[in-house]
Amino acid sequence: MSPDQFQAPDYFLLDELLTEEHKLVRDTCREWVKREVSPIIEDAAQAAKFPSQLLGGLAEIGAFGPYIPEEYGGAGLDQISYGLIMQEIERGDSGIRSTASVQSSLVMYPIWKYGDENQKQKYLPKLASGEFIGCFGLTEPNHGSNPGGMETRFKDMGDHYLLNGAKLWISNSPFADIAVVWAKNEEGRIHGLIVERGMEGFSTPETHHKWSLRASATGELIFDNVKVPKENLLPNKSGLGAPLGCLDSARYGIAWGVIGAAMDCYDTALRYAKERSQFGKPIAGFQLQQKKLAEMITEITKAQLLTWRLGVLRNENRATSAQISMAKRNNVEMALNIARESRQILGAMGITGDYSIMRHMMNLESVITYEGTHDIHLLITGMDITGIAAFT
Ligand code: TGC
Ligand code: FAD
């Protein structure tokens, strides 16, 4: 892998819109990614192994619960800082950002928002420090885009709940200490339950042979008559809106994160195009390559402006779920297109692990599917502007 020479593009001087705290948070993460992630990530991805040695560093840079209040161990930062952290981590690798997204928005967020005080005290500080790693079980073998149809169920047995069912495609599941699991009660109402590793009947087999997010561990959650203590039910919200509320926070982080992947591809392609000569001059001097690079920086700049504005709205509690869907959808497609174009600029070198582009490209094929597919986010926008749902 070539040394990390990343230089972030900022064509519209967006730095001027950031506070000193935003820039400090961003630059700290950027340095950490250069120092700790870039040197090891290609080997981890090639070996399809999650680099668990990064967990302590992720906790230290505030990537576990950036916006969770400090009293619970979080970093107490605003939404723009949260976005910038995701951007910098995904500049290194989408799989590492996945671990941070899941921990923050899909595990800490529901415990913070829907949990009781005991649950918050018990789990949040350990999740913030990385002592506990969590995962989020919503998707099932027969219910991906339509989680409302889930079949995982729990029964009230008097002194405990009995949980049965299975979840599939769960980031972090193979090594997670706890899982926030969404299941229906006997009346068919969806609730969140905290399931701990070691509970009898609970297993987490790993999913192998992925071509994408290879540095992230993905697996199943299997519940075979698992006895879940009653105090592990999240009491303060139920219904499909509860897991979907967590997704809003994670999708927002992804809208920022993928800008990092796009910036890394663009920066690599620009440097390569200026250094690589064919027909007696740098390939950056050919109009076809300039078209690609000029369109890339334009799209990155538009995505940066979109997420910055979304961050301001989130800080004011005014961002809608539909706005988040639009940003996630637009920015992931933008990043995937840039990864594909950048790879071509590198010619044959682009397919090797000497450069990060092909790894970003493969990762983004997962990112365009998880947290709501590209189609589902388009339908969410369609529903928002017409008032008519077209999911069924
Ligand atoms: P629908 O009837 O529209 O809504 C049910 C209830 O939920 C409310 N709601 C939301 N609440 C908060 N945030 C949102 N984004 C919400 N969207 C809807 C809604 O108001 C309603 O509330 P109430 O009180 O009236 O009951 O539900 P539907 O069944 O028609 O489905 C709508 C649809 C298709 C948009 C939704 O199911 C959906 O978003 N599907 C996509 C599933 C998905 O995104 N799964 C992601 C799994 S987790 C994951 O991928 C993690 S990857 C992590 C990583 O590694 O980084
Ligand atoms: P399906 O829902 O079967 O969709 C297949 C195709 O049909 C898609 O193109 C889709 O857009 C289209 N489609 C579906 N419904 C409609 C419709 N109404 N109209 C038009 N087209 C439609 N889930 C978790 O719960 N937790 C996790 O941590 C997690 N991590 C993941 C990690 C990875 C690496 C991956 C790949 C997935 C992960 N997921 C996770 C699952 C992810 O959220 C689902 O894959 C996603 O929601 C889509 O579900 P599906 O794969 O079952 O596809």
Report pLDDT for 2.
74
Of 188, 204, 232, the position where a domain reaches its end is 232
139, 111: one domain: no
pLDDT tier at 358 (50, 70, 90 boundaries)? very high
Q: How far is the CA of 16 from the centre of ligand 2 (A)?
A: 38
Asked whether residue 302 is domain-assigned, the answer is: yes
Assess whether the C-beta atom of 337 lies below 6 angstroms from ligand 1: no
Statement: residue 203 has pLDDT above 90: yes
Q: How far is the CA of 241 from the centre of ligand 1 (A)?
A: 6
Q: Of 276, 260, 261, which is closest to residue 357 (Cα–Cα)?
A: 261
Q: Cα angle at 182 between 179 and 188, to 5 degrees?
A: 155
From the alpha carbon of 167, which atom of ligand 2 is closest? 25
pLDDT tier at 213 (50, 70, 90 boundaries)? very high
Instruction: Give CA 268 to chain center in angstroms.
Output: 22
246, 381: one domain: yes
Return the best residue to mutate from 99, 104, 169 for the ligand 2 pocket (most ligand atoms within 8 A of CB): 169
Assess whether the C-beta atom of 347 lies below 6 angstroms from ligand 1: no
Asked whether residue 3 is domain-assigned, the answer is: no
Report pLDDT for 3.
83
Lowest average pLDDT, out of 3-7, 148-152, 336-340, 355-359, goes to 3-7
Assess whether the C-beta atom of 129 lies below 6 angstroms from ligand 2: no
285, 352: one domain: yes
200, 101: one domain: no
Return the best residue to mutate from 212, 244, 384 for the ligand 1 pocket (most ligand atoms within 8 A of CB): 244
185, 258: one domain: no
Q: How far is the CA of 243 from the centre of ligand 1 (A)?
A: 7
CB 110 within 8 A of CB 282: no
Asked whether residue 28 is domain-assigned, the answer is: yes
pLDDT tens profile 91-128: 999 999 999 999 999 999 999 999 999 999 999 999 99
Q: How far is the CA of 310 from the centre of ligand 2 (A)?
A: 24
pLDDT tens profile 300-343: 999 999 999 999 999 999 999 999 999 999 999 999 999 999 99
Q: Whose Cα sits closest to atom 47 in ligand 1?
A: 371
- The enclosing domain of 228 has a CATH number of 2.40.110.10
202, 262: one domain: no
23, 103: one domain: yes
pLDDT tens profile 223-263: 999 999 999 999 999 999 999 999 999 999 999 999 999 99
In order of 7, 281, 282, 343, 347, the CA distances from 274 in angstroms are: 14, 9, 5, 15, 14
Return the best residue to mutate from 172, 240, 370 for the ligand 1 pocket (most ligand atoms within 8 A of CB): 240
- The enclosing domain of 336 has a CATH number of 1.20.140.10
Question: pTM score, two decimals?
Answer: 0.98
The Cα–Cα gap between 334 and 301 comes to: 11
Lowest average pLDDT, out of 3-7, 141-145, 337-341, 364-368, goes to 3-7
164, 114: one domain: no
Known active-site residue 371: yes
- The enclosing domain of 111 has a CATH number of 1.10.540.10
Of 232, 264, 291, the position where a domain reaches its end is 232
Q: Whose Cα sits closest to atom 18 in ligand 1?
A: 241
Assess whether the C-beta atom of 50 lies below 6 angstroms from ligand 2: no
pLDDT tens profile 17-43: 999 999 999 999 999 999 999 999 999
Q: What is the DSSP string of 145-208?
A: S-GGG---EEEE-SSEEEEEEEEEEEETTTT-SEEEEEEE-TTS-EEEEEEETT-TTEE-PBP-
Of 181, 204, 232, the position where a domain reaches its end is 232
Assess whether the C-beta atom of 381 lies below 6 angstroms from ligand 1: no
178, 296: one domain: no
Asked whether residue 174 is domain-assigned, the answer is: yes
84, 40: one domain: yes
Percent of the chain with pLDDT over 90: 99
The Cα–Cα gap between 257 and 84 comes to: 8
Statement: residue 198 has pLDDT above 90: yes
Statement: residue 1 has pLDDT above 90: no
Asked whether residue 5 is domain-assigned, the answer is: no
CB 200 within 8 A of CB 40: no
Over residues 179-196, the mean pLDDT reads: 98
CB 6 within 8 A of CB 28: no
Residue 16 neighbours by CB distance under 10 Å: 7
Number of Cα atoms under 13 Å in the Cβ half of residue 286 = 14
Q: Of 373, 365, 328, which is closest to residue 147 (Cα–Cα)?
A: 373
Q: How far is the CA of 36 from the centre of ligand 1 (A)?
A: 35
Asked whether residue 96 is domain-assigned, the answer is: yes
268, 156: one domain: no
The number of domains in the chain is 3
pLDDT tier at 88 (50, 70, 90 boundaries)? very high
Q: Whose Cα sits closest to atom 39 in ligand 2?
A: 169
Percent of the chain with pLDDT over 70: 100
User: What stretches of the chain adopt beta strand conformation (E)?
Assistant: 134-137, 153-156, 160-171, 178-184, 190-196, 202-203, 218-229, 277-278, 281-282
From the alpha carbon of 97, which atom of ligand 1 is closest? 56
Q: How far is the CA of 297 from the centre of ligand 2 (A)?
A: 30
List, in order, residues 6 or more apart from 369 with CB less than 8 Å away: none
Assess whether the C-beta atom of 322 lies below 6 angstroms from ligand 2: no
Structural domain including 62 reads 14-129
Asked whether residue 8 is domain-assigned, the answer is: no
125, 144: one domain: no
Asked whether residue 256 is domain-assigned, the answer is: yes
